[in-house]
Amino acid sequence: MKISVIQGPNLNMLGVREQNIYGPMKLEQIHAQMKDFASQNNIEIEFFQSNLEGEIVDKIQECYGEANGIIINPAAYTHTSIAIRDAIAAVAIPTIEVHISNIHRREEFRQKSMIAPVCASSIIGFGPFGYHLSMLGMAQIFNEMQAVKAQQEQKAK
């Protein structure tokens, strides 16, 4: 099973920007922890970060037929991007939305997610630990997918 982790704008600045909101952890540290979990659970993982909406849409589309799951933090595009929402809906790959801060406790314009309705789940407000929770969630989704596939194969016999 393969997970594509897609990070949106300004997440490359984690550990530098607004530590009172996002904490001191750098994106590379978060990715290292996710990679450790993936290797312990026989999951292939890849990472992508872009500050450009179109590149994020392209990456989501590239996941079609290549990845079994997407973990995405669309960052500021969460609240504005119909294009990212439509790309997630189009590829129909289980997707988990992650946010380090609790968007519901932030400015009013940050409280609505355009992305959440097309995702399997959203993990919000747990800081960098939210990425670990997203890995647990994706592992559960993979287990369920494998169970359904095994059941279908059993019925076909």
pLDDT single digits (tens) 15-41:
998 878 788 899 999 999 999 999 999
- Nearest alpha-carbon partner for 88 in 108, 73, 110, 109: 73
| Per-residue model confidence as pLDDT tens digits over 106-123 | 778 777 899 999 999 999
Q: Which one has a higher pLDDT value, 58 or 153?
A: 58
Q: Catalogue all structural domains in the chain, each as residue range(s) with its CATH number.
A: 2-156 (3.40.50.9100)
Annotation says 79 is catalytic: no
Can you give the pLDDT at residue 112? 87
Q: What are the angstrom distances between the C-alpha of 148 and each of 63, 143, 153, 154?
A: 22, 9, 9, 10
Q: Are 95 and 72 in contact (CB under 8 A)?
A: yes
Is 22 marked active-site? yes
Q: Which of 77, 99, 104, 131 is catalytic?
A: 99
Q: 22, 104, 131, 132: which is the annotated catalytic residue? A: 22
**Interatomic CA distance for residues 11 and 49, integer angstroms:** 8
Give the whole-angstrom CA distance, residue 156 versus residue 1.
Answer: 23
| Residue 121 to residue 135: CA distance in whole angstroms | 12
Give pTM, 2 decimals: 0.92
